[in-house]
Structure 1
Amino acid sequence: MPAHFVRHILSAVVSIAAWASPGFSFSQQIPQLDLPRIELRAGMHRIVAQVASRPIERQIGLMRRDSMLPFEGMLFVFEHPGVQCFWMKDTTLPLTAAFLADDGAIVNLVDMQPLDENSHCSSAPVRFVLEMHQGWFASKGLKAGSQLSGSIFNKKE
C-alpha cells in the first residue's frame, strides 16, 4: 500500500480514537451554529436568537463562538421553571444573560466575563434565559421588568 494511503488511514484512526475517548466532547471543539432560530422583540429592537432547548444544546450554549452579529443571541429554553445558573466555561464572548419570566419579562440581568467559571443565577425561577452581547440590553435601556415579546412567551391576560 502506498505510504500516503497509510498516513491517511492512520490519521483517520487517530481521529476516531480521539472521538471515542472518554474525555472527548464535540462541545470542546465545535461551536453550535445550526440551531433553530426565533425572532424576539424588545420594543422596536429585533433579536434573532438560536434556540437551545435540549440538554446538550444548553450545555454547549455559545462555547467556542468567536463572533456573533449585534442583534443575535441564544435563547435557552428549560422544561420547568427553576433557578437557572450559567457560567462562561470555554465562552470567549462577553455576554449579558437576561433571565426571563414565562411572559418574556426580564427578571434580572447579569453581565458575564469570558472564560469565567463562576455561576451567575436567576433571582427567581425561570424557564428562559437569553444571552446577548454584553451591553446590548443596557444600550437599549432594558432592565429588570422590561418586556420582550415573541411567539414562545405566554401572554398575560
Structure 2
Amino acid sequence: MKFKFYKLILCLFLLCSFSCEGKKLETKDLLLTNSEGTRITINTELAKTEAEQSYGFMNRKNIPEGTGMLFIFTEDKIASFWMKNTPTPLSIAYIDYSGRIKDIFDMTPFSLSPVVSTGYVRYALEVPQGWFSKVGITVGDYLDLTKLKD
C-alpha cells in the first residue's frame, strides 16, 4: 500500500514539473528601434499568463543571442523580477504602454534580490545579459507593439 502511494506521488510530481517546463510559449519577431533609427529584430517568447510569467527563464541554461522573453502585463504596474532558479545572466528592460523603454538592468543568476522598475510599466523584456548594449538599445528607445495586436 505504501509503495503505491509513493509511486502516485512521484508520478504527480513528474507530471507537474514536465507540464510547466516543457510548455512552448507563443513566439513573435518584434522590432526595437534605437535613437538613431536603427531597427533590431528580436525573436521573443510571449509570457502572457501568471503561470508563464512566474516560470519565465527558470532552469534555462542557454538563451541564444537575438532571443528574449516579453512579459505582457494586463495593466500598468511597478514590476519586480528576481532570478530564482535562473542560471543564465540576463538583462531586463521595463517598457511602458507606448513601447518606450524606461529602465534597463542587469540581473545576477540565482539572485533573490528584486529588480524593480522605477515607474509604472506594461511590459518587461528579458534577454541574455549585455545584449541591449551590444545592439545599441538604451533607455528611451522603443519596442514596436503593433505585432502584439495581431
User: How many residues are treated as equivalent by the alignment?
Assistant: 143
Q: TM-score, normalised by structure 1?
A: 0.79
1:23-46 deviations in whole A, cap 9, x for unaligned?
A: x99469953551001111123321
Could you say which residue in structure 2 is the equivalent of 1:5?
none
53-62 or 26-35, larger mean C-alpha shift: 26-35
Q: For structure 1, which runs of at least 5 residues remain unmatched after alignment? A: 1-9
1:1-157 aligned at under 5 Å gives the runs 14=6, 16-18=8-10, 20=12, 26=16, 31=21, 34-43=24-33, 44-152=39-147
Per the TM alignment, residue 78 of structure 1 is displaced from its structure 2 partner at its CA by 0.7
DSSP 3-state at the match of 2:51 = helix
Gap change, CA 1:33 and 1:17, over 3 Å in 2: closer
Q: Is the 8 A contact 1:105 1:146 kept in 2?
A: yes
Q: Is the 8 A contact 1:27 1:60 kept in 2?
A: no
Q: TM-score, normalised by structure 2?
A: 0.83
59-68 or 24-33, larger mean C-alpha shift: 24-33
DSSP 3-state at the match of 1:122 = strand
Q: Quick one: percent identity of the two aligned structures? A: 27
DSSP 3-state at the match of 2:110 = coil
Name which one, 1 or 2, has greater alpha-carbon Rg. 1
Q: For structure 2, which runs of at least 5 residues remain unmatched after alignment? A: 34-38
Q: Is the 8 A contact 2:20 2:55 kept in 1?
A: no
In terms of fraction of residues, the more strand-rich structure is: 2
Q: Is the 8 A contact 1:65 1:91 kept in 2?
A: yes
Q: Is the 8 A contact 1:42 1:148 kept in 2?
A: yes
DSSP 3-state at the match of 1:18 = helix
CA RMSD of aligned residues (A): 2.8
